[in-house]
Amino acid sequence: MKSEIKERFFRYIKIDTMSDENSETFPSTKKQYDLLNLLNKELKEFGLKSEIDEHGYVMATLPANTDKKIPVIGFISHVDTSPDMSGENVNPQVWENYDGGDITINKELKLVLSPELFPDLKEYVGDTIITTDGTTLLGADDKAGIAEIMTAVKYLIDHPEIKHGEIKIGFTPDEEIGRGVDFFDVKKFGAQYAYTMDGSHVGELEFENFNAAKLTVTVQGRNVHPGYAKDKMLNSMLIAMEYNALLPVNMRPEYTEGYDGFYHLISMSGSVENTTITYIVRDHDRAKFESKKVFAAECADFLNKRYGKEVVKAELKDQYFNMREKVEEVFHIVEIAEQAMIEVGIEPKIMPIRGGTDGSRLSYMGLPCPNIFAGGINFHGKFEYVPLESMEKATNVILKVVELYAKKDW
């Protein structure tokens, strides 16, 4: 199975699927269709009913092979890679039987994947590690998940002795820029429950995620010749800096973990006359999340009292909410995934996602959708890697989940 997973994974990461948050189209980049169309073709070659719709969503069905009444479940992964780093001309490197030491992924650039900086590496001694060559990201987020789902589906087709209900497969674009399920037709997909294969470390099982909002702060300054600026000039960049200074330092991402929320400054541009700063606001607790948004608005009000009405504007836009509220209503779907991991020899690590997945929004659209590990680590950058054995374990979890649904009395 490992060789099949590796072959699929390498085929998928060779296709550049970077999404673009500045695009107004959906999908945001046409090149995502290169992989979406390939996956649709491969699913049809499996003998499945599969289609790609006008929004780029690939949906396929593996029919049940038993008359037993079993809930329809789905497995979902996204095809796009992060805009944070290039996903073009990915050149993976394979490090077999990892010895626990440094991995020099690029001698010329002096890039070293070291357990001193990335201690998680120590968990994978003896495994086959797949890395980038340091010039691109790898794309394990989430092409590892895609390879796992495709391998599991093919395995079920080739092993009809494994009884299962109807299974849905879904591949989505634009997850990395928060638009992954903007046009996803839950009713058409037809699953009662689903799982995204989009987590990181082996054993991760997540049914909680951040509540999320985007905060855009605009500052209207007043530009006057600096030689005659006394009591006249308003330097919008300095006022924007004041705004940032009002937000709690200990609520920045670099000082938070676990259930801690944060304000994360992600972009800034400006001049004396106009400045815009953008944040993402996050918290697992809904009340704390709402409080953070109120405080962000109050900071703008405070500065407007100092500098004048509407000098500072704070606009907040909700992005997604914590799926826990929806998943807890059908918590057996988490328990089944947990049991699946135990039965294939994996210790479940149930933890909150310090981010979001397509599943968080799908859960509010009527499709409860926890997240299962896909095995990749250090996403979105040149130090990304994935152990081949982790992808194999994730594939085994998919197969065991399917088996447990078929065995359960519904």
Q: Is 332 left (phi over 0), alpha (psi -120 to 50) or beta?
A: alpha
Question: What's the token pair of residue 339?
Answer: 């049991």
Q: What burial letters (b/e) apply to 154-183, b meaning 16+ CB within 10 Å? A: bbbeeeeeebbbbbbbbbbbbbbbbbbbeb
**pLDDT at 357 exceeding the cut of 90:** no
- Domains along the chain? 2-208+322-407 (3.40.630.10), 216-319 (3.30.70.360)
Compute CA distances 396 → 235, 372, 374, 407, 408, whole Å. Answer: 59, 12, 11, 16, 18
Model confidence over 370-389: pLDDT tens digits?
999 999 999 999 999 999 99
Compute CA distances 407 → 163, 165, 348, 396, whole Å. Answer: 9, 10, 21, 16
Query: For 92-114, what is the mean pLDDT?
Result: 96
Query: For 354-358, what is the mean pLDDT?
Result: 84
**pLDDT at 131 exceeding the cut of 90:** yes
Question: What's the token pair of residue 48?
Answer: 């499945």
* 54: helix, strand or coil: coil
pLDDT band at 178 (very low <50, low <70, confident <90, very high): confident
Question: What's the token pair of residue 359?
Answer: 């599943």
* Extended beta strands in 119-192, E state: 129-131, 167-172
Distance CA 94, CA 43 (A): 27
> Which amino acids are annotated catalytic?
80, 175
What pLDDT sits at residue 115?
96
What pLDDT sits at residue 390?
98
Distance CA 145, CA 77 (A): 6
Model confidence over 278-326: pLDDT tens digits?
999 999 999 999 999 999 999 999 999 999 999 999 999 998 999 999 9
- Cβ neighbourhood burial of 381 (10 Å; 0-12, 13-18, 19+): middle
Asked if 133 and 106 count as a contact pair (C-beta separation under 8 A), the reply is yes
Helix axes 2-13, 140-158, angle to 10 degrees: 140
What pLDDT sits at residue 355?
82
Query: For 255-264, what is the mean pLDDT?
Result: 96
Query: For the chain, what is the mean pLDDT?
Result: 96
Strand partners for 263: 281
Distance CA 184, CA 358 (A): 10
- Give the chain's count of helices (H) and strands (E): 10, 17
Distance CA 246, CA 53 (A): 46
DSSP 251: G
* 21: helix, strand or coil: coil
